[in-house]
Structure 1
Amino acid sequence: MRRAVAEGAIHGVRVSVGAPEVSHLLFADDSIFFTRATEEEATAVSDILRRYEHASGQLVNLDKTTVSFSKGVPRTKRSNLATRLGIIEVEEQERYLGLPTVVGRSKKVLTNILRDKLSKRLEGWRGNFLSRAGKEVLLKAVANSLPTYVMSIFKIPVNF
């Protein structure tokens, strides 16, 4: 990916005028590529994936692979590029690493996610044979640690 960017075969995205260009994000076995919606860049991504498969001996699971486009890309171009890549088109990526990929001004989505996670954890403890003090310690530990990951990425509203 870096070589393709350096050679100008792929162009990433910038979040603002002075920000660096981001062409890909990698985490464990998850990858996100950011490119322009052109035949040339789709071909470049396909070539990179095939070279990766050949070099590593691992195969990209196209059943778990999706592509999404920005609003300005026409429908016909979207379907042509998705077909060329051999992957499914989705309107938008719902979540990545457990968090929503698109968050607007309202952070209600984030606070709802945190509340839901905490509620699910608490439900699981109902049957545990812990003393009241033990449950309190467990609750405080989990309640304090759950938002840490979210807060490392998003600014959480003060009233939460």
Structure 2
Amino acid sequence: MQQGALHGFRETPNGVPIMHLSFTDDSELFGNATVDEAQRVVDVLKVYVWGSSQEIDMSKSLIFFCSKTTKLSKKEIEKTLGNQCKEGFGKYLRLEEDFGHSKKVVFEEVRDKIKTRMAGWAEQFLSQAWKEVLVKVMAMAMPNYAMSCFKLPIGVYSDIEKAIRNY
């Protein structure tokens, strides 16, 4: 970055560039959509592999392009980074990465998982005490990660509370 080969992402024109975000054993890298910058990323990753003795599984890697990136540039960058990389949106830590216009749609999956899990519990012959334990330990803990990262829409909260009450 100091040499001007990598640019990162700036929230504002004068803001500090963000080059990467790291989470446990995952990383997100930011840069301009050019073949030169992609080659610099490959060079940095090779140094990381050499220095850490860890391998990078490119089959689990995704490339996200802005809408202004041409198809030709996308193909060249994918080739530079390794043809196992995929373009598109997926999940990260069990949440959809693309929020689109509606967060409620993304978090419906969290709500649906809770409902599905509780439906399975309903089929079992459990005492009231065990049902209460399951609700407190499992159902109320399932949305914790999503809630720690994002402010869930009030409709999702209401749906989860309603499912727990109905159980």
* Pairwise TM-score range, normalised by the shorter structure: 0.7 to 0.9
RMSD: 2.3
The worse-fitting range, judged by mean Cα deviation, of 38-47 and 110-119 is 110-119
Unaligned residue ranges in structure 2 (runs of 5+): 157-167
Letter in 2 for 1:87: N
Pairs aligned (count): 156
For the 8 Å contact 1:12–1:21, the answer to whether it is kept is: yes
Supply the distance in 2 between the matched residues of 1:140 and 1:19 (Cα, whole angstroms): 43
Does residue 29 (structure 1) correspond to residue 25 (structure 2)? The answer is yes
Percent of aligned pairs sharing the same letter: 37
**Of residues 50, 53, 65 in structure 2, which corresponds to 1:54?**
50
For the 8 Å contact 2:9–2:19, the answer to whether it is kept is: yes
For the 8 Å contact 2:62–2:88, the answer to whether it is kept is: no
**Of residues 11, 14, 27 in structure 1, which corresponds to 2:10?**
14
Letter in 2 for 1:108: K
**More contact order relative to length (CA 8 Å, sep ≥ 6):** 2
Going from structure 1 to structure 2, the CA distance change for 1:16 and 1:143 (only over 3 Å counts) comes to farther
Deviation readout 1:89-144 (Å, 9 max, x if unpaired): 53422111111112133222233121122134335545766422211221133232
> Which residue is 1:144 aligned to?
140
SS at match of 1:151: helix
Unaligned residue ranges in structure 1 (runs of 5+): none
TM-score scaled to structure 2, two decimals?
0.79
Supply the distance in 1 between the matched residues of 2:123 and 2:52 (Cα, whole angstroms): 46
